[in-house]
């Protein structure tokens, strides 16, 4: 499932140049995550389409990975229900921490999920290449990593990157999910379409706040029930550091 950075140069032209993103028929209807409690507190009843949604986590294991995989599962299910091919999704994973069996357990169809593991230096460039291919219904860009395999990404240059990511999915039913850490300093605010702040005050609760929205639909902090993720064994991930990692995004 996991593919190295240079795999993008070898993907079929039909995938990278097909411009397969469907236009947003009902942009006011969000992409349902399948997590009913979360969808109920989001303005569109799901994740905003046609833009960059920042999942800003406070503390470790605040749920962003699980939400991102749920969005991939929802997009794939939506495509199948409409009678077409299962859409491709992409996960840009610089920490090399995604665990294949865990992703499958989350309901994501693995043969329609591209996982790219770039170096930190190439993270922005590779993320743009993936999004600008217009081949993916959901693009997840992880700038945080997971407990035990965190990454240190400076967000100083990311306002420019976010603008280009936004243009790549503008007017479509697709979305880019940008996972960030609230503690990381940012000289300028990221020009995302929506910013969702997440934290875990307890093992069985998740707090959610829409802190920014292009339509001005800011919400107060809401608490929703959140089941703890089942433990998953450590697995060796092939990558530059050959580190041990697991999927533990909450």
pLDDT at residue number 27: 52
Q: What is the CA radius of gyration of the chain?
A: 17
Q: Would you state the structure tokens that stand for residue 12, as one six-digit string?
A: 């079929």
Between CA 162 and CA 113 the distance in angstroms is 22
pLDDT at residue number 211: 96
Q: Would you state the structure tokens that stand for residue 139, as one six-digit string?
A: 């693009």
pLDDT at residue number 197: 96
**Residue 248 CB-half CA count within 13 A:** 16
pLDDT at residue number 16: 52
* pTM of the predicted protein model: 0.85
pLDDT at residue number 24: 52
pLDDT at residue number 157: 92
- The list of the chain residues with pLDDT below 50 reads 18, 230-250
pLDDT at residue number 248: 31
Q: Rounded to the nearest 10 degrees, what angle do helices 123-132 and 158-169 cross at?
A: 10
pLDDT at residue number 50: 94
pLDDT at residue number 145: 87
Query: Per-residue pLDDT tens for 129-174?
Result: 999 999 999 999 999 988 778 888 999 999 999 999 999 999 898 9
pLDDT at residue number 57: 94
With b for 16 or more beta-carbon neighbours within 10 A and e for fewer, the 141-159 pattern comes to bbbbbbeebebebebeebe
Which SS3 state, helix, strand or coil, does residue 209 take?
strand
pLDDT at residue number 148: 76
- What the chain holds in terms of domains, given with CATH numbers, is 32-245 (3.40.50.300)
pLDDT at residue number 28: 57
Between CA 131 and CA 214 the distance in angstroms is 20
pLDDT at residue number 118: 94
């Amino acid at each position: 499932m996991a593919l190295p950075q240079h795999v993008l140069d070898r993907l079929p032209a039909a995938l990278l140049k097909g411009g397969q993103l469907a236009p947003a028929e009902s942009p006011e209807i969000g992409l349902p995550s399948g997590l009913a409690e979360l969808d109920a507190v989001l303005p569109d009843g799901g994740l905003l389409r046609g833009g960059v949604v920042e999942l800003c986590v406070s503390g470790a294991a605040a749920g962003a990975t699980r939400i991102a995989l749920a969005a991939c599962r929802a997009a794939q299910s939506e495509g199948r229900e409409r009678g077409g091919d299962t859409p491709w999704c992409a996960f840009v994973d610089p920490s090399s921490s995604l665990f294949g069996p865990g992703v499958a357990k989350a309901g994501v169809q693995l043969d329609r999920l591209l996982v790219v593991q770039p170096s930190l230096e190439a993270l922005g460039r590779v993320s743009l290449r993936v999004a600008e291919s217009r081949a993916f219904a959901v693009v997840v860009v992880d700038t945080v990593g997971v407990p035990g395999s965190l990454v240190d990404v400076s967000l100083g240059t990311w306002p420019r990157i976010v603008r280009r990511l936004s243009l790549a999915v503008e007017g479509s039913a697709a979305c880019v999910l940008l996972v960030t850490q609230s503690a990381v300093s940012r000289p300028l605010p990221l020009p995302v379409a929506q910013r969702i702040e997440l934290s875990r005050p307890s093992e069985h609760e998740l707090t959610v706040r829409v802190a920014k929205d292009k339509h001005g639909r800011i919400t107060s902090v809401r608490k929703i029930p959140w089941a703890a993720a089942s433990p998953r064994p450590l697995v060796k991930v092939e990558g530059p550091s050959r580190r041990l990692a697991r999927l533990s995004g909450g």
